[in-house]
Amino acid sequence: MAYLFWDDVGMRSLIQEFENDFLDTYDSILTPVERSDVFRILVCKQFGGIYGDLDTELIRHPASWIGPSDITTWTDGETGSDYGYHNDSAMLDDETRVVNLLWGLEADNDPNSDAYWRQSYTYPQQLSQWAFAAAPNHPIVTRYMDNLRNYTKDNETAALNSDPLKRTGPAAVTLATKSWLEDHLGFRWTSLTGVKDGGRPKLVNDILILPITAFQSRGKIVPSWRRIVETF
């Protein structure tokens, strides 16, 4: 397992090489924090891999982040739609890989309450992007970049969409994932909540969403689900 660290010059060089049409926006509109947000996504778009902030500590080796029980079938109690992998006895390898994108929830609130926006979240079920894993060229990453290009297509539009959490951060990756699943599967996003089922990993198409306890701040971890912890 290799750990790669990128400085500002290297980050810009990668954008110039692989997303050259976005370079002017990267240089002139995005803040340093937003550049970091975008860069982590684009590295995984081009190469795939596992991302973690510097202030995180592994609890479980990434090779063990996904097990057979994490991809078993589950049912949306409201729509009756079934999701997950229907042959959980199969070995998970490069030929049978059923997970190509892995996120963890950073917020999980009752969808019927206003708790999420009182806690300053954009969505009741909101994803974290301080730790995630992706195979190269996943369509969710493409959706993320399409949204960002639309938000920053000119200075006026960029000024109207200047909140970094919504433009490049957790709300942005949530919107990309949510909208893609809704468009392609008719997926009900709030079915990801663990409020009623205690929280469990949920596989939707090739996207595995871990419960809020998998990627969490220190002191809030439920041992059975934890993978990584923020140490700040």
Tens of pLDDT, residues 84-121: 997 644 555 555 679 999 999 999 999 889 999 999 99
Domain boundaries, the chain: 8-230
Where are the alpha helices (H) located in 61-169, listed in sequence order? 115-118, 139-151, 155-160, 164-167
Distance (Å, whole) CA 109 – CA 107: 6
Q: Which of 2-6, 11-15, 30-34, 108-112 has the lowest mean pLDDT?
A: 2-6
Q: Give percent of the chain with pLDDT exceeding 70.
A: 88
Is residue 46 helix, strand or coil? helix
pLDDT value for 232: 46
Tens of pLDDT, residues 156-202: 888 888 899 999 999 999 999 999 999 999 999 999 999 888 889 99
| CB-based contacts of 22-26 (< 8 A; 24+ apart in sequence) | 22/145, 22/149, 25/149, 25/152
Distance (Å, whole) CA 38 – CA 35: 5
